[in-house]
Chain A
């Protein structure tokens, strides 16, 4: 006799993890999306044991906590740049408060994982947004500089040139020519 089974993998995984953790006597709470919070400190030897047990089921413990943290920092920066955060808050304060950790710590982890600094990443994000606005909206550079909280259009121009090695107008010119070329190549 043949029967067919249908699985709910999310429920399955959650159930396995919960059963195994209870079986081994861990106190935990499940936060969802694969995030589990241990209520007591787990020695690293025990984590290795858990890794071995979970591997049999194809479940992997994401070891790199730092990568998770960096992603949270990046999300905070993107939010800050795109939703023009209040002018009177310094970016370091905003990020530290958002993640509830010290800025010095966050800054160290960020540089270690991404090879760049938080300050530099903010600049990259702002310049990227400026590029988008330049080519996709009718706003001129002065208006863009105001929207992105630059003290002057000259400041934006200088930072643009410093970051990309080209002026905003040559950037615009190249993108326009590229678009013209790809339109021409379309049937």
Chain B
């Protein structure tokens, strides 16, 4: 039996956050393949490459050098090949204005970065699980909105 992998990408300029993120997935029992990118430009270069494996869910930090999370979000949503990827904003900001803006522009999930590792694991597992249901059960992704 070939294992079902869930492909996950993260773009975040903070090295510690990237490390926490990959560690958290290593400890979950869900089969995942995680790729990380240091900024928005690196991420978009990867996604725009025509034979890149597209992620099932993409985590975007908002504050990144060169190209920030909102810019990436807008670019992805305009691109027919990419606009079906579920997008999770992964940010330290909890400003209601920011949150609403990213949702309106097409984000599916908004995660306020948790301060402890246990919580991070719990949140990521919840996100990946529910995203998997959207992915495998024909649920309407237009209505996929979630805040954690």
- Residues in chain A within 8 A of chain B (CB atoms): 63-64, 74, 114-116, 121, 124, 128, 131-132, 135, 163-166, 171, 174-175, 177-178, 181
Contacts and interface: CB of A to CB of B under 8 A. Distances in A.
Given A114-B132, A121-B133, A174 B145 contact: yes
A168 to B, nearest CB: 11
B19 interface: no
Interface residues of B, number: 23
B1 A114 contact: no
A163 B130 CA distance: 10
Given A174-B103, A181-B104, 19 more contacts: A63-B1, A74-B137, A114-B132, A114-B133, A116-B129, A116-B133, A124-B130, A124-B133, A128-B143, A132-B143, A165-B110, A165-B146, A165-B147, A166-B145, A166-B147, A174-B145, A175-B143, A178-B103, A178-B104
A114 B148 contact: no
B30 interface: yes
The 8 A-B residue pairs with the shortest CB-CB distance in the complex, in nearest-first order: A165-B147, A131-B143, A174-B103, A177-B104, A115-B129, A166-B147, A164-B146, A116-B129
**Chain A binding surface, main DSSP class:** helix
A173 B104 CA distance: 9
Nearest to B147: A165
Given A115-B132, A116-B133, A164 B104 contact: no
B95 interface: no
Contact of A114 (B100, B106, B136): B136
B140 interface: yes
A48 to B, nearest CB: 13
Interface in B85-127: 100, 103-106, 110
Nearest to B130: A124
B82 interface: no
Nearest to A127: B143
A53 B130 CA distance: 39
A165 B104 contact: no
In the complex, which of the residues A135, A163, A165, A178 has the most CB atoms of chain B within 10 Å of its own CB atom? A165
A110 B131 CA distance: 16
A177 B106 CA distance: 11
A114 B135 CA distance: 11
Contacts of B128: 115
A165 B148 contact: yes
Contacts of A177: 100, 104
Interface string B35-52: 000000000000000000
